[in-house]
């Protein structure tokens, strides 16, 4: 793990079932929120990447549900870069509640793709440099 960030997420009513438990299909949205903020902390954004012709589709996602989250709880999404990117960008996640109980552990792999050709590309050098510079400060 090179570095991580944490964001708070308050569970909204629409994300729960009739029992007030977060529906499992909402956790990938929380992962995306964590990933987006991780990139923003690096000085990057999905929007900027897309405007420069780079797409980052998710090519793999694995979640392990350990405990339930409930309506109006504030969760912490911890997003960690697993290793330096190549043609892929891999993240690990832990989602926990305010008591520190781990609710979900997850992993996603995204591919760097040229938007015009829809073909995989290497991680752009400027992104590698930003990650290296940031991780050297840790």
Is the C-alpha dihedral spanning 79, 94, 10, 25 positive or negative? positive
pLDDT number for residue 29:
98
Q: Which residue numbers in the chain have pLDDT < 50? A: none
How many Cβ atoms from other residues are within 10 Å of residue 102's Cβ?
A: 14
Q: Considering the domain boundaries, does residue 83 fall inside one?
A: yes
Q: Considering the domain boundaries, does residue 107 fall inside one?
A: yes
Q: Considering the domain boundaries, does residue 125 fall inside one?
A: yes
pTM: 0.93
Q: Considering the domain boundaries, does residue 137 fall inside one?
A: no
Is the C-alpha dihedral spanning 69, 77, 11, 14 positive or negative? negative
pLDDT number for residue 3:
82
Look up the CATH number of the domain holding residue 11: 3.10.129.10
Quote the tokens at residue 32: 């995306």
Domain tally, the chain: 1
Which one of 17, 72, 92, 99 is the catalytic residue? 17
- Which range marks the domain in which residue 88 is found? 4-132
Q: Considering the domain boundaries, does residue 34 fall inside one?
A: yes
Asked about 17 being catalytic, the answer comes back as yes
Q: Considering the domain boundaries, does residue 23 fall inside one?
A: yes
Q: Considering the domain boundaries, does residue 126 fall inside one?
A: yes
Q: Considering the domain boundaries, does residue 122 fall inside one?
A: yes
pLDDT number for residue 2:
62
């Amino acid at each position: 793990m090179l570095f991580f960030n944490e964001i708070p997420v308050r569970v909204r009513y629409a994300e729960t079932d009739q029992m007030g438990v977060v529906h499992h299909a909402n956790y990938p949205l929380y992962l995306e929120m964590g990933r987006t903020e991780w990139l923003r902390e690096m000085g990057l954004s999905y929007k900027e990447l897309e405007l420069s012709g780079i797409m980052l589709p998710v090519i793999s996602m694995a979640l392990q549900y350990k405990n339930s989250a409930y309506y109006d709880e504030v969760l912490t999404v911890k997003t960690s870069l697993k290793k330096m990117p190549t043609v892929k960008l891999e993240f690990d996640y832990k989602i926990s509640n305010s008591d520190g109980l781990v609710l979900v552990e997850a992993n996603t792999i995204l591919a760097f793709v040229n938007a015009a050709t829809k073909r995989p590309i290497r991680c752009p050098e400027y992104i590698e440099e930003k990650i290296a510079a940031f991780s050297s400060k840790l």
